[in-house]
Amino acid sequence: MEPFETSEPLSKPRRRSLLPRLIGCALLAPQGALAVSTGYLLTLLLAARGVAQAATTPLVASPGGLRFVVLVPAHDEQSGIRATLESLELCSYPRDAWRTIVIADNCTDRTGDCAREAGIEVWERTDPRRRGKGFALGWALDRLQAEGNTFDAVVVLDADCVASSNLLSAIDQRLRSGAHAVQVDYVVANPDDSNASALRFSGFALMNTVRFLGKQRLGLSCGLVGTGMAFTRDLLAREPWTATGFVEDAEYHLRLVHAGERSEFVPEASVSSAVPTSLKASSDQQARWEQGKLQLIRHWSPRLVSAGLAQRDIVRIHAGLEWLVPPQSLIAAGSMGSALAGLLLGSRRLVLLSAGTLAAQLTFVLAGLRLVRAPIKAYRALLLAPALIARKVALYVRLLRGRGPTSWVRTEREAPATSRRTG
C-alpha cells in the first residue's frame, strides 16, 4: 500500500506547475508579434543600406521643367515664417517657375503681414469651426484647381521648416521621371540642443529616413509626413485632398494607396525643423499623432489589406499592415516585460524570444543611426530612453481609456535652424 500512499502527494507539484506553463505559452503569441515587427524593421534597414549612398549624391541642377506652387500653411507663425520663406528663396530653381503662397489660417498674430513684407502672396482663411492644417490645405488646393492650368505640381512646406536648396530641383526630377506623389527627407534640426531633441532626432531618422529608404528600395509606398511632400496637378484632380484628421498627411497617403497610387522617397533633398527641447513640451503633439494613428488603423488597415488581397497588390497590403507595427518604445517595453515574466514563470522560450527581440531592436536603432550619420548626442541620449518609454506607455493607457485629444492644438515651436543638408 505504500506506493499508493505516496503517489497523490507527488502529483500535486505537477498540477501546480501547469498554470505558469500555460501563462508562459500565452505570452509567446504577443511577444512573437513584437519579434515579427522587429524582423520587418531589420528588413527595411538592410534594404535601406543599398540606397543610402544616393542621398549623398549631388543632383545636377534642374532646368526647371515643371511649374510649382509652394503652399505654406501657417497658424500664428510670425516668429519663424521668415526663415522658412528665406530658405525657399535660396532654392536652386528658376525663380519664374514657382510661386509661393502662405495660407494664413485662422491667425491672430502678424503671420500674414510678415509674409507680405517678404513679398510673398498670402491667402487668408478664417473658419474657427474647421481648424487645422488638413482643412487649410483642402481649401487652398480647391482654390488652386479652380484657377485652371496655371501649375504642374504643388509642394507643401510647413511654416516652421527650412528647405534644402535643392528641394524644388530634386522634386522636379522625380516627378518628371514618372512619380505622382513624393516625399523628401524630414529631419530634426536641433539634435544637440538637449537630450529630448536628440531622442526626437533619432525617432525621426529611424522612421522618416531609414524606413523610407527601405520601402523605396523594395518598391513599396514610402509614406507622407506633411511637410516636404509634393503632388502633381493631375493626381490632385483625380484624388482631391479631403484629409482633415489629426494625421492628415498619413490619411491622404493611405487614400492614395487605396486608389492604386504610391509615394516615392526623395532622400537627396530635405526639410528640417527644430523640435521642443523637453519631453513634456512635445507631449501634446505625440498624443495627437498616436490618437490619429489609432483612428487610421481602425478605418484603413482592414480596407487596404482586403483590397490588397483581392487584387494581389503587395503595396496595399503593406500600407495596411505597417500601421500595426508598434513604436520603438512599446516594442522595448513589451519585450522587457515578457523577459521578466519568462524569468518568473520559468519559461526559457519566452526569455530567449524576448532577449532576441531586444537584441534585434538595438541592432536596428544603432545601425540605423549610423546609416544617417547621427551626431554623438543622439547615441548618448539613448540612455534616457527608459523615461521616453514610460511616457509612451502612459500615453497609450490614456488613449485606450478614451482620454485622448479631441481637437487640433498648435504645437509649441522652437526657433528655426538651418537644414542638415544643403543640397
Task: Provide the whole-model pTM.
Answer: 0.87
C-alpha cell at 9: 502527494
Are residues 159 and 97 both part of a single domain? yes
* Cell numbers 500601421: residue: 323
Domain check: are 199 and 110 in the same one?
yes
Domain span including residue 246: 60-281
Report helix angle 248-258 to 314-322, nearest 10: 150
Q: How far is 46 from 49, CA to CA, in rounded Å?
A: 5
User: Are 82 and 207 within one domain?
Assistant: yes
Residues 212 and 306 placed together within one structural domain of the fold: no
Tell me if 413 is assigned to some domain: no
Strand partners for 216: none
Q: Please answer whether residues 107 and 116 qualify as being in contact, where contact means their C-beta atoms are separated by less than 8 angstroms.
A: no
> Which neighbouring-strand residues pair with 272?
162, 187
Does 311 share its domain with 377?
yes
- Is position 151 within any domain? yes
Report the residue count for the chain.
423
Q: How far apart, in whole angstroms, are the C-alpha atoms of residue 78 and residue 319?
A: 37
The answer to whether residue 88 sits within a structural domain is yes
Total domains, the chain: 2
177 and 274 inside one domain: yes
| Co-location of 67 and 158 in the same domain | yes
Q: In three state form, how does the secondary structure of 56-76 look?
A: HCCCCCCCCCCCEEEEEEECC
423 residues of the chain, pLDDT tens digit each? 455 444 445 445 555 578 888 888 889 999 999 999 999 999 999 999 977 655 544 445 455 589 999 999 999 999 889 999 999 999 999 999 999 999 999 999 999 999 999 999 999 999 989 989 999 999 999 999 999 889 999 999 999 999 999 999 999 999 999 999 999 999 999 999 999 999 999 999 999 999 999 999 999 999 999 999 999 999 999 999 999 987 899 999 999 999 999 999 999 999 999 998 887 766 666 666 677 788 899 999 999 999 999 999 999 999 999 999 999 999 999 999 999 999 999 999 999 999 999 999 999 999 999 999 999 999 999 998 888 888 878 877 776 776 655 555 555 555 544 444 444
